[in-house]
Structure 1
Amino acid sequence: MRYDLVIFDNDGVLVDSEPIANTVLAAYLSELGHPTSYEESLRDYMGGAVHRVHDLVLERTGQKLPLDFDETLHSRTFAAFEQELQPMKGVTEVLEWLVAEGVAYCVASSGTHERIRVGHRRTGLGEWFEDEWIFSSEDVGHGKPAPDLFLHAARSMGVEPERCVVIEDSPLGIQAANAAGMDVYGFTSMTPADQLAGAKGYFGELTELPRLLA
Structure 2
Amino acid sequence: MKGIIFDFNGTMFMDSDLHEAAWLYVIQKYTEKKMTEEDILKHIHGKTNDVILRHFISSELTDEQVEQLSDEKEAYYRKLVLASPNHQGFTKGLKEVLAYSKEKKIPMTIASASPKVNIDFYFDYLNLGDWFEYDQIVYHTGTFPGKPAPDIFLIAAQKIAVEPENCLVVEDSYSGLQAARNAQIGTIVAIDPIGKNREIFAAEGLAQDGIIEDFTRFIPTYLQ
The TM-score bracket by the shorter chain reads: 0.7 to 0.9
Q: Which residue of 2 aligns with 1:92?
A: 95
C-alpha distance in structure 2 between counterparts of 1:169 and 1:148, whole Å? 17
Given that 1:137 and 1:143 are in contact with CA atoms closer than 8 Å, whether structure 2 keeps it comes out as yes
1:188 alignment partner in structure 2? 192
Which residue of the other structure, out of 145, 167, 171, is the alignment partner of 1:168? 171
- Render the CA deviation track for 1:54-81: whole Å, top value 9, x for unaligned: 23226xx666488121121122112222
Instruction: Measure how far apart 1:206 and its partner are.
Output: 1.0
Structure 2 unpaired stretches of 5+: none
TM-score, length of structure 2 as denominator length: 0.84
Identical aligned pairs, as a percentage?
23
* 1: CA distance, partners of 2:177 / 2:35: 24
Q: Match for 2:5: what amino acid?
A: I
Match of 2:106 in 1: 103
Structure 1 residue runs of 5 or longer lacking an equivalent are none
Normalized per residue, which structure has more helix?
1
Number of residue-to-residue matches in the alignment: 210
The alignment status of 1:13 with 2:16, answered yes or no, reads: no
1:176 Cα deviation after fit: 0.3
Indicate if the aligned counterparts of 1:95 and 1:128 stay in contact, CA closer than 8 A: yes
Letter in 1 for 2:51: R
In 2: Cα distance, 1:173 partner to 1:105 partner: 17
Match of 2:212 in 1: 203
192-201 or 172-181, which deviates more:
192-201
Rounded Cα–Cα distance in structure 2 between residues aligned with 1:41 and 1:8 = 23
The equivalences for 1:24-173 within 5 A come to 24-37=22-35, 39=37, 42-43=40-41, 44-57=43-56, 64=61, 67=65, 68-84=68-84, 85-86=87-88, 87-138=90-141, 140-173=143-176
Task: Indicate the RMSD between aligned Cα atoms, in angstroms.
Answer: 2.2
Q: Secondary structure at the match of 1:110?
A: strand
The answer on whether the counterparts of 1:139 and 1:149 sit within 8 Å (CA) in structure 2 is no
- CA shift digits 1:67-122 (9 cap, x unpaired): 12112112211222222233222211110121222211100001012212212322
In the TM superposition, what whole-angstrom CA distance separates every residue of 1:148-183 from its partner, at most 9, and x where no partner exists?
000011112211111111000111111000110102
Say if 1:8 and 1:36 are closer, same or farther in 2 by CA, change over 3 A: same
Q: Secondary structure at the match of 2:217?
A: helix
Distance 1:175 1:62, change over 3 A: closer
